[in-house]
């Protein structure tokens, strides 16, 4: 009964001595998690901010309403709004914003809004108006946002004009009161507002995502050291000694499986603790993380056991396992979120343990352990199906 345990202990001592499991299981994923975290965190944490200038040559109600809408952007910290006197001055600042060599002492702007004289009068009279947007060539995003702001304001004015014209043609109001009606309609608050609420649950931050991704990616290399040990035993001739001893074939297989499971769990546990302390990764509820780690290690064992059972030599098994690990990692969204691409890529990602592990961690961010059971079930299903197939081949391969 103790034979599988002794075999696993022997294999673990060997792996710790040759340092290969330590390199693939801890050093490599931790190093890459550091690198990706430092590369992508500045991108994730960077925020959009634009410098806009406004030329108000109108001074009427419509111009005031437009500047009031821009003030909301400034209150939210999205943009800094300045007023200048002439279109020429605004264009000068926009040109300075396009010049990468412009000094810091030069006023610069990402875009300018020019509100011409007579804008309010024309809009209120139903004759329309024009707002000119001048964008800096070096600030395409800020310029596009400025254009969207102007178009959105124009759409609101168009809606007001349609409403006023409808009332005017109905004969329900005095024509003399239409300008005042238009002014009231233009300045009335929107009855419906849209609020941007950032997701606080079921979403991994960039550091945690890369830490989890690198951990599960290299997990498949770490687990392979155990199941491929059968081929190594056969290569060096110790398989015959094991079979000559009072040890059953199944005990040998179970011992190798225990080695894989122990290596995988130890590797993942060290990485969870290390990335949490060193990188600030937030894995979530420890119990949920432990369950997900055990499930994904089990699924990795099953998949790689099939390779070990069907390969002819350890080198061949290593090549096949590397290819399978890389393909599953890319499909599962370890390096980038493949599921966001939608379509066939989103569907294919569901056929990988990596995607289910990452999804389980994301669901765990909600703090409810029940949210991870679909992911855990999928991971266990991977392990049961592939492990069952591998068991049949392994029993045939473990022979004298």
pLDDT digits (tens, 9 = 90+) for 309-318: 787 777 787 8
pLDDT digits (tens, 9 = 90+) for 81-129: 899 989 899 888 888 876 645 555 568 888 999 999 888 888 777 677 7
pLDDT digits (tens, 9 = 90+) for 169-214: 665 555 555 556 555 555 555 544 444 444 444 567 788 888 899 9
- Tokens found for residue 298: 């089990």
Query: Rounded mean pLDDT of 129-150?
Result: 84
Query: Rounded mean pLDDT of 143-150?
Result: 87
% pLDDT > 90, the chain: 16
Predicted confidence (pLDDT) at residue 368 exceeds the cutoff of 50: yes
pTM tops 0.85, yes or no: no
For residue 20, what pLDDT is reported?
A: 75
pLDDT bin (cut points 50, 70, 90) of residue 43 is very low
Domain spanning 48-187: which CATH class is it, in words? alpha beta
Q: Which residues of the chain form CATH 3.40.1710?
A: 48-187
For residue 96, what pLDDT is reported?
A: 83
Predicted confidence (pLDDT) at residue 288 exceeds the cutoff of 90: yes
For residue 186, what pLDDT is reported?
A: 53
């Amino acid at each position: 009964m103790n034979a599988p345990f002794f075999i696993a202990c022997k294999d673990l001592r060997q792996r710790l001595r040759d340092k290969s499991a330590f390199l693939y299981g801890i050093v490599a994923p931790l190093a890459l998690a550091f690198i990706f975290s430092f590369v992508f965190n500045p991108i994730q944490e960077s925020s959009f901010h634009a410098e806009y200038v406004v030329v108000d040559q109108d001074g009427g109600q419509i111009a005031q309403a437009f500047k009031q809408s821009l003030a909301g952007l400034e209150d939210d910290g999205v943009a800094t709004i300045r007023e200048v006197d002439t279109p020429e001055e605004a264009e000068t600042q926009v040109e300075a914003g396009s010049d990468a060599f412009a000094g810091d002492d030069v006023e610069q702007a990402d875009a300018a809004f020019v509100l011409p004289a007579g804008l309010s009068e024309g809009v209120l009279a139903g004759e329309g108006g024009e707002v000119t947007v001048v964008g800096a060539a070096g600030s395409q995003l800020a310029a596009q946002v400025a254009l969207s702001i102007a178009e959105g304001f124009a759409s609101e004015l168009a809606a007001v004009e349609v409403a006023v014209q409808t009332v005017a043609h109905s004969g329900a109001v005095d024509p003399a009161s239409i300008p005042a009606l238009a002014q009231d309609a233009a300045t009335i608050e929107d009855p419906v507002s849209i609020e941007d609420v950032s997701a606080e649950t079921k979403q991994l931050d960039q550091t945690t995502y890369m830490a989890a991704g690198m951990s599960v990616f290299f997990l498949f290399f770490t687990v392979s050291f155990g199941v491929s040990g059968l081929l190594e035993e056969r290569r060096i001739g110790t398989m015959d000694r094991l079979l000559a001893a009072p040890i059953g074939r199944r005990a040998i297989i179970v011992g190798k499986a225990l080695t894989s499971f122990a290596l995988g769990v130890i590797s993942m546990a060290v990485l969870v603790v290390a990335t949490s302390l060193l990188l600030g990764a937030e894995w979530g509820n420890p119990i949920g993380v432990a369950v997900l780690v055990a499930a994904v290690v089990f699924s990795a064992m099953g998949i790689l056991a099939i390779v070990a059972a069907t390969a002819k030599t350890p080198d061949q098994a290593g090549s096949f396992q590397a290819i399978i690990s890389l393909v599953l990692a890319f499909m599962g969204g370890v390096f980038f979120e493949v599921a966001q691409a939608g379509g066939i890529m989103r569907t294919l990602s569901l056929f990988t343990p990596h995607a289910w592990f990452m999804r389980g961690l994301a669901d765990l961010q909600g703090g409810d352990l029940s949210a991870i059971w679909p992911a855990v079930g999928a991971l266990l299903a991977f392990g049961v199906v592939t492990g069952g197939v591998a068991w049949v081949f392994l029993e045939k391969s473990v022979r004298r």
